[in-house]
Amino acid sequence: MTMWGTIATWRMAHDGVVDASRQLAAGGTAGDAVEALIKRVEAYEYYKSVGYGGLPNEEGEVEMDAAFMDGDTFAQGAVAGIHNVLHAVSVARALSHEHYNSFRVGAGATKYAQLQGFEMVNMLTPRAKKLWQQRLAAMRASDLSPYDGHDTVGAVTLAGNGSMATATSTSGLFMKKAGRVGDSPLSGSGFYVDSAVGGAAATGLGEDLMKGCLSYEIVRQMAAGKTPQEAADQAVYSFAETLQARYGKCGEFSLVAMNNRGEWGVATNVEFTFSVATADAAPQILIAHPAAD
Ligand code: SD4
């Protein structure tokens, strides 16, 4: 049987995983499948942390981060702090075809999307605005942290021809400061893929994920011979421990990984749902727990 597969963060990715697996089963490319997967999540209004309906920053502006990477060529494109673009992942993918200027931020990223004809919409839905107003009032009343929960969609795909791709998309942390960028558009932190090995994608506290370049570290461990599960465990748990010991705290991390044989693994330091499908296993939503001490 031709091996293909996809794995993605959170149960919200499930419909996208179903779409991607149909494409991959029909011989679609890894890039098209991962973009379709992420777009499905971005378009769904009721996911509060990705795409349309995503929660805004402290100033009430929805700022999106997204990335796309081709595991054959290592081509990457990314956007950060982009405004009012329905599919930030598609903008990132378009940028991955550029040799120069492939990572764009803020007004420059938004302008690029407009000029390229990407669909522009007001990303602040009435529902997200209401949640923002409620949180603003609560933050004034007490000292609430802007950070609660973590819900970036990040996915890895393996096509039947052996090519791999990865992509991420997020509105980042609810109530983040204007201009704050997380790990999701950063190569090696939020995502990484090498078709000769495998790929990984992250969700969690970007500020801490960046400290360990955890997606790259998982791919490096797989290249050294570890299974995706061993690689994810090694990268995530050893770094979380080191960070705790040397920095004094460690945010939530959850990473998904798949190798170029369609084997997969997940490591997390918090209860975490994910969705996965392979040529020999129908799409399913699973729950991962932190490894026991
Ligand atoms: C970030 N990794 O921007 C993302 C957070 C997340 O809700 O997973 N999002 O740091």
pLDDT at 254: 96
Q: How confident is the model at residue 290 (pLDDT cuts 50, 70, 90)?
A: very high
Residue from 57, 150, 213 whose mutation best tests the ligand 1 pocket (most atoms within 8 A of CB):
150
Considering the candidates 29, 110, 125, 152, report the single residue annotated as catalytic: 152
Task: Write out pLDDT tens, residues 202-242.
Answer: 999 999 999 999 999 999 999 999 999 999 999 999 999 99
The alpha-helical segments, DSSP class H, found in the chain are 14-25, 30-43, 88-95, 106-115, 126-141, 206-212, 214-223, 228-247
Give the 3-state secondary structure percentages of the chain, helix then strand then coil, rounded to 5: 35, 25, 40
Parallel, antiparallel or unpaired: strands 153-158 and 5-9? antiparallel
pLDDT at 231: 98
CA of 247 to the centre of ligand 1 (A): 20
Place of tokens 């990572």: 103
pLDDT at 263: 98
**Any idea what DSSP says for residue 157?**
E
Task: Write out pLDDT tens, residues 46-88.
Answer: 788 888 888 889 899 999 999 999 999 999 999 999 999 999 9
pLDDT at 150: 56
Could you tell me if 206 and 177 are in contact, meaning their C-beta atoms sit under 8 angstroms apart? no
pLDDT at 85: 96
The verdict on whether 152 is a catalytic residue reads yes
pLDDT at 173: 87
Instruction: For residue 67, give Cα distances in angstroms to 78, 97, 138, 250.
Output: 4, 12, 32, 24
**Any idea what DSSP says for residue 70?**
E
pLDDT at 168: 98
The separation between CA 180 and the C-alpha centre of its own chain, rounded to angstroms, equals: 16
Q: How confident is the model at residue 141 (pLDDT cuts 50, 70, 90)?
A: confident
Pocket of ligand 1 (CB under 6 A): 49, 150-152, 170, 172-173, 182-184, 203-206
Helices H, strands E: what count in the chain?
A: 8, 12
pLDDT at 144: 65
**Interface ipTM > 0.85:** yes
Task: Write out pLDDT tens, residues 105-137.
Answer: 999 999 999 999 999 999 889 988 998 888 888
Q: How many beta carbons lie within 10 A of that of residue 74, not counting itself? A: 13
Quote the CA–CA distance of 163 and 30 in Å, as a whole number.
6
Please state the pTM of the whole predicted model: 0.96
CA of 152 to the centre of ligand 1 (A): 5
pLDDT at 149 over 60: no
Nearest to 49 by CA among 107, 77, 88, 76: 88
Task: Write out pLDDT tens, residues 243-269.
Answer: 999 999 999 999 999 999 999 999 999
Residue from 48, 203, 256 whose mutation best tests the ligand 1 pocket (most atoms within 8 A of CB):
203
Quote the CA–CA distance of 230 and 253 in Å, as a whole number.
16
pLDDT at 16: 98
Task: Write out pLDDT tens, residues 88-100.
Answer: 999 999 999 999 9
Could you tell me if 250 and 240 are in contact, meaning their C-beta atoms sit under 8 angstroms apart? yes
pLDDT at 293 over 60: no
Parallel, antiparallel or unpaired: strands 76-82 and 103-105? parallel
